């Protein structure tokens, strides 16, 4: 499967989740479809070559839990739809995967980014809770307001 086809499957699954009222953060692999680490586990015991010859397609940069699962299952390649909406400040999963020898490809797909931005705009509390940053909603709004004020001051100068 080529990257465009794999990412298209991940996007369609993400979009379906969003339309059903869920959190649009599903991932797929070249061997089977899954939702984060639970589906890797629910897939049952597959031969190691199944994982070690797979590519995982995700619409978002992987969280710490998904990063760990990718490494645990020895998946050698990750294709990420977009990493602007969610990427841990320290580089998180992407950098750690690269350090461990995993090929990481960031596509910066407009559709993935647009869907996630829409979800975050519509349900910020659910989003921040999902990524375990419950108190971040107010902090982020404050940062954005401060950044906007700085831009306005620069434009006036």
Alpha-carbon gap, residue 28 to 17, rounded angstroms: 13
H or E element at residue 16? helix 3-19
Is residue 142, in this structure, part of any structural domain at all?
no
Structure-model confidence comparison of residues 29 and 150, the more confident one: 150
What is the number of structural domains in the chain?
1
41 is written with which tokens? 């586990």
Q: What is the pLDDT of residue 20?
A: 80
Is residue 133, in this structure, part of any structural domain at all?
no
Is residue 85 a contact partner of residue 120, using CB atoms and an 8 Å limit? yes
Is residue 43, in this structure, part of any structural domain at all?
yes
Residue percentage of the chain with pLDDT more than 90? 21
Distances (CA, A) of 7 to 27, 129, 133, 137, 141: 9, 25, 27, 29, 31
H or E element at residue 56? strand 55-60
Is residue 18, in this structure, part of any structural domain at all?
yes
CATH number of the structural domain spanning residue 106: 3.40.140.10
Is residue 140, in this structure, part of any structural domain at all?
no
The number of angstroms, rounded, from the C-alpha of 9 to the middle of its chain's C-alpha atoms is: 14
Q: What is the pLDDT of residue 50?
A: 85
Tens digit of each residue's pLDDT (9 = 90 or more) over 61-109: 888 878 888 998 899 999 999 988 876 665 568 999 999 999 999 999 9
Q: What is the pLDDT of residue 59?
A: 87
83 is written with which tokens? 């990493």
Is residue 76, in this structure, part of any structural domain at all?
yes
Query: Could you give the residue numbers annotated as active site?
Result: 36
Which domain, by its residues, includes 40?
Answer: 3-122
pTM, rounded to two decimals: 0.73
Alpha-carbon gap, residue 108 to 96, rounded angstroms: 19
Q: What is the pLDDT of residue 71?
A: 93
Is residue 27, in this structure, part of any structural domain at all?
yes
Alpha-carbon gap, residue 5 to 11, rounded angstroms: 10
Is residue 78, in this structure, part of any structural domain at all?
yes
Burial per residue of 91-115, b for 16 or more beta-carbon CB atoms within 10 angstroms, e otherwise: ebbbebbeeeebebeebebebbbeb
């Amino acid at each position: 499967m080529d990257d465009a086809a794999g990412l298209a499957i991940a996007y369609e699954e993400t979009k379906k989740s969003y339309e059903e009222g869920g959190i649009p953060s599903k991932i797929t692999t070249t061997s089977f479809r899954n939702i984060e680490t639970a589906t890797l586990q629910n897939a049952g015991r597959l031969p190691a070559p199944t994982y070690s010859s797979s590519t995982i397609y995700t619409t978002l940069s992987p969280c710490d839990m998904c990063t760990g699962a990718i490494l645990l299952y020895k998946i050698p390649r990750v294709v990420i739809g977009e990493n602007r909406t969610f990427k841990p400040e320290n580089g998180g999963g992407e950098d750690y995967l690269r350090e461990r020898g995993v090929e990481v490809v960031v596509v910066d797909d407009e559709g993935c980014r647009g869907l996630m931005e829409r979800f975050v705009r519509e349900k910020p509390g659910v989003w921040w809770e999902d990524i375990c940053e419950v108190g971040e909603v107010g902090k982020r709004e404050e940062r954005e307001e401060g950044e906007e004020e700085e831009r306005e001051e620069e434009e006036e100068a």
